Amino acid sequence: MHIGILKTDAVRTEWVAEFGEYPDMFVRLVGDADPEATFSTWDVEEGVHPTQDDIDSVDGFIITGSKSSAYDDKQWIRDLEGLIQRLHAARKKMVGICFGHQVIAQALGGVVSKSDKGWGVGINVYELGGAPFKGGHTGQLKLIASHQDQVHVLPPGAQNVVSNPHCENAGFVMGDHIFTLQGHPEFVPNYSEAIMAFRGDMIGGERVAEGRASLETHQHEGAKVANWMVDFFAS
């Protein structure tokens, strides 16, 4: 299995030694689920896109999270939307995480905006309504979150499969080639803590306290999602 990673942000310099860059986080996550998986990365934030030969060579793409908003007036985001539209037209598999979830939705006709419910941080508990592989999944999913933007309107043809009261559209599927999540399976609790400490004033003290408490009371289930992603790309 060969997976392409579309990098949409850089980790703060002082955190890279401990946590790596965002593609490193996905390599660790998916590599634990499938040690034979290989990866290639394109830094789309810097305008680097895969060629058609590159697209043909991978089983699918992961679009990472970003501090940028999908609706920001940035040329690299508009260019990424064009790439997403081309991949969608070709039914190339895509997994979108956080910003990746949002920009796929926006590129395909959905609406993304800042939520008046404030930030989602720490480990959030979601209800599952199915998934695009091996019979689907129901029950709950516990994932680290770090966002204020949300997908408020799904793109035409999308099916909502992950939800909670704070974020109704926390994951969707389209056909058998798109799977997205608002939460971050690739994050680890220490990285969530670092983000909350750094953005504390922006997030708000009460929400940070709730997020820190959730890291103690819930178990992050990134490994569960990694197995789903392997199944998704292999199907």
Distance CA 146, CA 151 (A): 14
* 176: helix, strand or coil: coil
184 annotated active-site? yes
Burial of 139 (0-12, 13-18, 19+ CB in 10 A): exposed
Res 191 pLDDT > 70: yes
Domains and CATH numbers, the chain: 2-234 (3.40.50.880)
Res 132 pLDDT > 60: no
pLDDT band at 137 (very low <50, low <70, confident <90, very high): low
Contact 110, 70 (CB under 8 A): no
Q: Could you tell me the two tokens for 119? A: 């930030």
* 113: helix, strand or coil: strand
Model pLDDT, residue 215: 97
Percent of the chain scored above 70 by pLDDT?
96
Cα torsion for 187, 92, 172, 105, to the nearest 10°? 90
* Lowest-pLDDT choice from 17-26, 102-111, 115-124, 134-143: 134-143
Res 134 pLDDT > 60: no
Q: Could you tell me the two tokens for 54? A: 């590159």
Catalytic residue, candidates 88, 147, 184, 220: 184
pLDDT band at 139 (very low <50, low <70, confident <90, very high): confident
Res 43 pLDDT > 60: yes
The pLDDT tens digits of the residues spanning 198-235 come to 999 999 999 999 999 999 999 999 999 999 999 999 98
Output the CA–CA distances (angstroms, integers) from residue 229 to 6, 27, 30, 48, 93, in the order listed: 15, 12, 8, 24, 10
The mean of the pLDDT values for the chain is 95
The pLDDT tens digits of the residues spanning 52-70 come to 999 999 999 999 999 999 9
Catalytic residue, candidates 45, 98, 147, 221: 98
167 annotated active-site? no
Catalytic residue, candidates 45, 101, 166, 186: 186
Distance CA 166, CA 187 (A): 20
| Residues 6+ positions from 185 with CB-CB distance below 8 Å | 29, 97, 143, 144, 221, 222, 223, 224, 225, 226, 229
- Give rounded-to-5 percent helix, strand, coil for the chain: 40, 25, 35
Percent of the chain scored above 90 by pLDDT?
95
206 annotated active-site? no
